[in-house]
Amino acid sequence: MEENETTLPLQNGCDDQWIWNRWERSPDVKFFGRTYRTAHFHINWSAGTAGVRGTRILNNGRYFWELRITQRIFGTSMMFGIGTKKSKLHANSFTNLFGQDDQSWALSHKGLLWHSGKTYSYTKPFQENQSTRIGILFDGIAGTLTYYKDGECLGVAFSGLNEIKEPLYPVICSSAARTAMTLSSMKREFVNLQDRCRAVIVKKLRCRSSIDKLMVPAGVKCYLAEAIVDEIQPFKPMYRNICNSIGSL
C-alpha cells in the first residue's frame, strides 16, 4: 500500500516528542547514537524475548505513533502495545512477553491480541521478511486502543483503558534475532490553546539549552522544557512547584 499520511489520525494535533527508555529495557535491547528512537533486538543471536518501554505517559490524552519495522519479521513473537510499569520487559524464553497478565495489552505479528493471558484473533498474520508500518492510536478519553497497518485502520483492539489508574506507556518486544523497530509519525492531541502555542514555540528551539536565552518567566521556561526531547540532557525540573505554577499564568 502506498504511504498516505492523510489516512493517519491526529493530523491536526501537534508533533509528539518521546523516545524509548534506555533505563527500562531488556539487556538484549540496544540503541546506537543519541536519538533512542530505534530499538535493536538481539543484535547477534536470540535466547529469549526482549522488550522496552517508551517514555510517554498516555493516560487521559490522545496519542498516535507509528513503528517502522525492519524486513526481518519472523520468530515466535514481535509485539506492539501498551503496558504499566509492572509489565515484564525480558524473558529467558521465546514467548509472547506482553498480555500474559493484566498489566499490558498488545498485538503480535501473528495477528493476535493479548491481554490477561487470553488471546484473540484480530487481523491477518504479517507477511514475513517484508517491512511494515504499524500505527497505534491510544484514546485515553474513550478508553480505546486502535491499530493501523501500512496506513489502514484495523479497528478498535482494546477498550476500557480509561479505567486504568496506573500510568500506561508504549511498549514493544521481539523474540527474533537482529530485528529493529523505529518510532515515527508521533502525534498528540492539543490539550488547550496554551498547549497549541507551546507547540509553535518549541519548533523553533533546537534543544532545552535554547530556553535559557528566552526572556520569559521561569515557570514558562519549565513548561516549554517539558515539551522538548533532549537525549543528551534529560529534563529534571529543579523546582516542581515552579513547573506546576504554569497553570496559573
pLDDT tens profile 15-66:
898 999 999 999 999 999 888 999 999 999 999 999 999 999 999 899 999 9
Residue 93 has pLDDT above 90, yes or no: yes
How far is 7 from 150, CA to CA, in rounded Å? 10
C-beta of residue 83 within 8 angstroms of C-beta of residue 171: yes
pLDDT at site 6: 46
Q: Where do the domains of the chain lie? A: 5-188, 193-248
| Model confidence, pTM | 0.80
Beta bridge partners of 137: 64, 146
C-alpha cell belonging to residue 53: 518501554
pLDDT at site 210: 82
Q: 169-178 in b/e burial notation, b at 16+ Cβ within 10 A?
A: bbbbbbbbbe
Q: In sequence order, which residues have a C-beta less than 8 Å from that of residue 116 and are 6 or more positions away?
A: 99, 101, 102
According to DSSP, residue 221 is labeled H
pLDDT at site 236: 41
Nearest to 227 by CA among 214, 204, 245, 217: 204
pLDDT at site 233: 44
Multiple choice CATH, 5-188, 3.30.830.10, 3.40.930.10, 3.40.50.720, 2.60.120.920: 2.60.120.920
Q: Is 99 left (phi over 0), alpha (psi -120 to 50) or beta?
A: left
